Structure 1
Amino acid sequence: MISIQNIEISFNTPRGKFTAVKDINLDIAQGEIVSIIGHSGCGKSTILNAISGMLFPTKGKVLLNNSEVKGPGPDRGIVFQNYSLLPWLTVEENVYQAVDAALAGKPTSEKHELVAKYLRMVNLWEHREKYPKQISGGMKQRTAIARAFAIDPSVLLLDEPFGALDALTKGSLHIELLKMWNLTQQSKTIVMVTHDIEEAIFLSDRIVVMNNGPAATIREIEEVNLPRPRNKKEIVNLEEYKIIRERLLNLLMDKVEIDEKDFYKEKAA
């Protein structure tokens, strides 16, 4: 479905060339949920933006269904951390605006049916006439998820979509996301950037762990062989879950320990 082939992404800065990521190779199958984790500045969102077509690799290429990504398109839906809702439109109008633009050839009645379908899926139909300022952060993110699914993309890109939410709201949205993924016969491919290890394990089939930047690379790819559908209360007690969580923590904490040693060395010097 997605093939990232030896990409490097660099930027020109006043101090010269800055390489965000390099030597990134990753294949993602149709219907797979893949999370990318790592410390801030390791290029997670950079990779996501390359898949979306909003950034172009300096070297290498990104393929989607064997065609090179040349820019954004309706085959990729994006959900950002900051919701990106239009404040002058209602919840329903925000979703309709995206559907109308992405599915221009469909009759108006069908577009409205799609909007209603996905707003009901995220339990927002009763709030469809409210404006973004009138709803909570969790409801805004539900709107953004409904909007992304409603345009029927083959790939859903999530850039820390739940990072600003409280634990209860976040957990609820995890369930909503998986419900919608299941209702589409798990045909949608999801790539998610997150800092949350538990979130990554619960949602993902594989977890990509990044080395620290600059010039970040993939350190390791962790397989998540937990049965689906997943229940949060049950999987945390599984031995496989504990092993994966411990391994990911060790990979991420390893860098923190190195940084602390360097700090004390510099202080001593």
Structure 2
Amino acid sequence: MKKCWLLIITTMVVSFSIASCDQSSQNGSPAPQVEENSTANDSQLSVNQQISRTFGHLLARQLRKSEDIIMDITEVAKGLQAELECKRAPLTESEYEEKMAEIQQKIFENKAKENLSLAEKFLQENKKNAGVVEVQPDKLQYRIVKEGSGKVITGKPSALLHYKGSFINGQVFSSSEANKEPILLPLAQTIPGFAMGMQGMREGETRILYIHPDLAYGTSGQLPPNSLLIFEINLIETTEDSVATKNTENENSAS
């Protein structure tokens, strides 16, 4: 039991250390840094004391970064001391996991409800803006940023493109710019709103899609539940299948 708890704590700290670095690169907020001007007392600590105190900092960073679950720091400290003294915890591991799952599920449901409301409000307001086209009422919109002159997408071919995906608050969650190379994306494998929003798009065109969670990931996937997704797409090239050229369109319209 004691080894299990120690493993859990260690894993939490290591996981957070990695996560904090990832968060700083995704949302632009810097990860907590060690102060350069250490106090004289800190410099006189033994190696064991330095490691121990840093371990405490890592635990504190994890607690500070937890936006959804706020821990009672006093009780956390008591728990650490009690475990070191081989005293019984208030909950068994299974009880702890069960209660945490209940809390996390409630948080998830509240977040899903909140995000859905924000998504619907955003789309209602966004459709009033100049240049915004509704593909599906209150579900899917787009705005052309730069006109293209190449082939037109119809159906679900593969497309070579640059993209940037963000949330309503502007936080970027994914981008092809990270690798500085465009990606070849089969539209048949994308979320419904992405493929639908690219219909009629020409090579060379840049457009922004506004996708309701019902046409995105909804409450599944790794992103926050019921997130409205905003994609800025620059279409470079598309496959020959399921596309049309400007001349073909003119011929069809004339016949």
TM class, shorter-length: under 0.3
More strand by share: 1
Higher Cα radius of gyration? 2
Compute the TM-score of the two structures, normalised by the length of structure 2.
0.22
Looking at both structures, which has the greater relative contact order when contacts are Cα pairs under 8 Å and sequence separation is at least 6? 1
Compute the TM-score of the two structures, normalised by the length of structure 1.
0.22
